[in-house]
Structure 1
Amino acid sequence: MKHVNFTIAHVETPTLTTGRSPDIAASASGSTVMCLVRFALANIRRRPERFTLSVLGIALAIACVTIVRTISASFAITGADSVTDALDGAQLWAVPAAGVHYDSDVEALVADGPAPTFVLPDGWRTVRTPSGVTDVDGTRVSLRGSDDIASGAVVVSPSLADRLGVATGDSLVIGGQSLVADVTGGGHGVTVSSSLAQDVVGANGWWTVFAPPGEENRRDLAQRFGAAVDLPTTADPSVLPDPSGTGLVYDTVGGSGPLTFEQKFSALFSGKVTSSTLGLISIIGLALGFVIALSSFLAAVAERKREFGIMSSIGLADEVLYFFLVESAITFVVAYLVGVLGAGAAVALVIPSIATPLAWAQAAGMVAAFLPAMAIVGALVPVHKLLQQKPVDLLGDR
């Protein structure tokens, strides 16, 4: 009887009544996650073809979204840079009634009509910038004029100089004149003297307006200047000038909200891509990738129903959930890495001039925000369906 009593006391020790498997119970001090990872990897090795197909399906969807988001981010960066280059530190921007547009071929903002005419109020300073497009050695380029450029000289941006194969001191023919190139500055075009620019592009251009000294940060600059010159004003870059009017003044410092004028302008570029058919297709592709993953997990649950029934019957229902969460996380992380790296290679090979590494990194970070929710939902749906059944039903043949 003493031997029997000892045996019963041994069976009732906490180690075997915690409701956990020996491996998990032994590792509860810190390596439970590693046990679940090993279990998940073992299941992946047992069904490598399913894992591979799931990863490829999700990766393809992630690649589609990443490519679209990379293009969108590239346009946003380009929009901010182009308007910053056009403003050159001015507080107000007076554009023609025909407006301005971004020409993707020359990678710059171009005026669509003559700059508005007005009488400059006392204390204000303006700079007129002739703007248009011309051909240089058979290549369409953005052309602007400046009073600071001497006749016989042309300032070429470094990016355009690379495209044209031009270095400082070389000659360029613009408007029938041979000019000496100076590779410097920013932007993506050429800048010549104002007189030569007007000969080439006519009256097309815009005004950049600088506030009186000491008033640069006033929030009512646009209203004051607009009232003085009889021009409408706005801080919203999505508002276009009235074609029947004389022009429009954009307020670059007095807008409401946390975003700057440049950021609002770049958001217009980004929104055109994400709201286009291409953006819609990418969202549909991401949804299809999630459906592929969910179908794979449901099939895995159906195949291993008896195994999970045994686990549930001995009190390991929680481990079933954790197991699928870990396996789902592994699947989505691998698919994410394959997808974003494939998208990066695709944009680098196909559209290197548009998609930059910074834009790709922003897109990859944006897509990564979707992964936790997709991995959790992808695991919860099949496991929830599984745990709704009684263990005895899971152990049955049907």
Structure 2
Amino acid sequence: METSPVANTAPHTRAPQIPTGSQNTFVCLVRFALANIRRRPERFVLSVVGIALAIACVTVVRTISAGFAITGAESITDVLGGGQLWVVPAAGTHFDPQAQALVAAGPAPALTVPAGWSATRTLSGVVEVDGEPVALQGRDGIAGGEAVVGSKLAERLGVGRGDDVTVGAQQLRVVTAGDGQSLTVSTALARSLVGDNGWWVVSAPAGQENRRDLAAAFGAAAGLPYTADPAVRPDAAGTGMIYDTVGGSGPLTFEQKFSALFSGKVTGSTLGLISMIGLVLGFVIAVSSFLAAVTERKREFGIMSSIGLADEVLYFFLVESAMVFLTSYVVGVIVAGIAVALVIPGIATMTAWLQGAALTAMFLPAMAIVGALVPVHRLLQQRPVSLLGDRW
């Protein structure tokens, strides 16, 4: 008896297809990287901690630098008050970090003001108000019973418009004006407290405020040297110097140059050098971490390369390195913000921290690419057969 073949009724199972398309491929690479991180969490944590410390070191310096730049720009704006020329004494000026403002180091030079020009003399020094060091300025036109206080100083002193504040032995009524850190009183009161130290702020004749040769014209009449570079210091043996705030060459304004001068003092200091060393150590930690990962998993990548997935090996390391550096960056900038806020809260403004974090972020692409490409390049130089062997 002839029998018919039994039909195969078992369900046919198709092998899963590898997802195609850039979006699916990227998701698979992310999952692959996360799986590897879960498999070796200690390596991920150590890599993140090491790189985050380097990023925090750089971010701290950049935040301090940005904070000083902002402070420098605000202090020079507070001094100029809309004037075009700033005439400083031969002893120059300096920034008092406790008072957070510019202070004159000597008496203002004698000045001959040409017809049509106007010059305002400002006395300058540091006094204590309620136990706080304050930059005191003295100007004509301020009532004897008033103290004009900048908004930031008012916040620091905890006073507002209409409150009373004791300056020297006198009780003055607070009038808030401007955003600076200075307290302005009458010339007579300022002279009794800080002497004759100060500077001049000169305004050009009406309609000539934007002339590029204001310093040359005024300097010839006053017999004083002039410059548009705030980095140039006056001659201590001379009589003073004129800073031109509207002239000079280049796209930067005088305020921006002054701000950059403050910032450069931080980045060019020993602190800036230490941050660069920390950044280099971050590169070394990143490369060492990924080299160790490659050495440990060479068989796995040898199999991938042997079946034509060599490109995926490169993409995988790029994705994994990006995840490591992104996590390190977030941890590093948060730690840096906390550190600066605790140590120097006067500099740790949100704007300075954001600027510092943005400047540090520019290093991330290079760190991620180098951290991934160096070990992957070493990996892909080997044949799949050699990767499957016992020796590198």
Please say which of residues 152-161 and 196-205 is displaced more in the overlay: 152-161
Is 1:150 aligned to 2:153, yes or no? no
Deviation at 1:341, TM superposition (A): 1.3
1:185 counterpart (175, 178, 183): 178
Task: Please give the secondary structure, in 2, of the residue aligned with 1:58.
Answer: helix
Task: Please give the secondary structure, in 1, of the residue aligned with 2:282.
Answer: helix
Would the alpha carbon gap of residues 157 and 118 (structure 1) be closer, same or farther in structure 2, given more than 3 Å must change? closer
Aligned letter for 2:299?
Answer: R
What is the distance in 1 between the residues matched to 2:34 and 2:197?
Answer: 65
2:113 counterpart (107, 120, 133): 120
Deviation at 1:29, TM superposition (A): 5.5
Any residues of structure 2 matched to 1:111-260 within 5 Å, and which?
111-260=104-253
Task: Please give the secondary structure, in 2, of the residue aligned with 1:140.
Answer: strand
Any residues of structure 2 matched to 1:279-290 within 5 Å, and which?
279-290=272-283
The count of corresponding residues between Structure 1 and Structure 2 is 377
Aligned letter for 2:361?
Answer: A
Any residues of structure 2 matched to 1:53-132 within 5 Å, and which?
53-132=46-125
Task: Please give the secondary structure, in 2, of the residue aligned with 1:384.
Answer: helix
Aligned letter for 2:174?
Answer: A
- 1:186-231 superposed Cα distances (whole Å, 9 cap, x missing partner): 2112110112212222211111111111111111111111111110
Q: In the alignment, what sits opposite 1:376?
A: 369
Deviation at 1:22, TM superposition (A): 4.7
Deviation at 1:32, TM superposition (A): 1.2
What is the distance in 2 between the residues matched to 1:55 and 1:295?
Answer: 13
What is the distance in 2 between the residues matched to 1:164 and 1:342?
Answer: 29
Any residues of structure 2 matched to 1:217-366 within 5 Å, and which?
217-366=210-359
- 1:127-186 superposed Cα distances (whole Å, 9 cap, x missing partner): 111111112233321110122211121122233333333343333332433322223432
Would the alpha carbon gap of residues 29 and 124 (structure 1) be closer, same or farther in structure 2, given more than 3 Å must change? closer
Please say which of residues 244-253 and 348-357 is displaced more in the overlay: 348-357
Note the residue ranges of structure 2 that are not aligned, 5 or more in a row. Answer: 1-14
Percent of pairs identical after alignment?
69
Please say which of residues 335-344 and 155-164 is displaced more in the overlay: 155-164
Please say which of residues 240-249 and 126-135 is displaced more in the overlay: 126-135
Please say which of residues 176-185 and 247-256 is displaced more in the overlay: 176-185
Aligned letter for 2:354?
Answer: A
Aligned letter for 1:127?
Answer: T
Aligned letter for 1:224?
Answer: A
1:393 counterpart (370, 375, 386): 386
Task: Please give the secondary structure, in 2, of the residue aligned with 1:178.
Answer: strand
Task: Please give the secondary structure, in 2, of the residue aligned with 1:363.
Answer: helix
Deviation at 1:388, TM superposition (A): 1.0
* CA RMSD of superposed structures (Å): 1.6
What is the distance in 1 between the residues matched to 2:156 and 2:140?
Answer: 26
What is the distance in 1 between the residues matched to 2:17 and 2:232?
Answer: 68
What is the distance in 2 between the residues matched to 1:73 and 1:359?
Answer: 5
What is the distance in 1 between the residues matched to 2:342 and 2:166?
Answer: 32
Task: Please give the secondary structure, in 2, of the residue aligned with 1:30.
Answer: helix
Q: In the alignment, what sits opposite 2:45?
A: 52
2:32 counterpart (39, 49, 59): 39
Task: Please give the secondary structure, in 1, of the residue aligned with 2:192.
Answer: helix
What is the distance in 2 between the residues matched to 1:175 and 1:131?
Answer: 15
Task: Please give the secondary structure, in 1, of the residue aligned with 2:371.
Answer: helix
What is the TM-score with the length of structure 1 in the denominator? Answer: 0.91
Deviation at 1:276, TM superposition (A): 1.0
What is the TM-score with the length of structure 2 in the denominator? Answer: 0.93
What is the distance in 2 between the residues matched to 1:302 and 1:128?
Answer: 71
Task: Please give the secondary structure, in 1, of the residue aligned with 2:247.
Answer: coil
Please say which of residues 124-133 and 175-184 is displaced more in the overlay: 175-184
Q: In the alignment, what sits opposite 1:13?
A: none
Aligned letter for 2:336?
Answer: A
What is the distance in 2 between the residues matched to 1:377 and 1:214?
Answer: 56
Task: Please give the secondary structure, in 2, of the residue aligned with 1:143.
Answer: strand
What is the distance in 1 between the residues matched to 2:333 and 2:22?
Answer: 36
- 1:24-44 superposed Cα distances (whole Å, 9 cap, x missing partner): xx3235321111111111111
What is the distance in 1 between the residues matched to 2:276 and 2:352?
Answer: 18
Q: In the alignment, what sits opposite 1:28?
A: 21
What is the distance in 1 between the residues matched to 2:290 and 2:181?
Answer: 50
What is the distance in 1 between the residues matched to 2:157 and 2:349?
Answer: 20
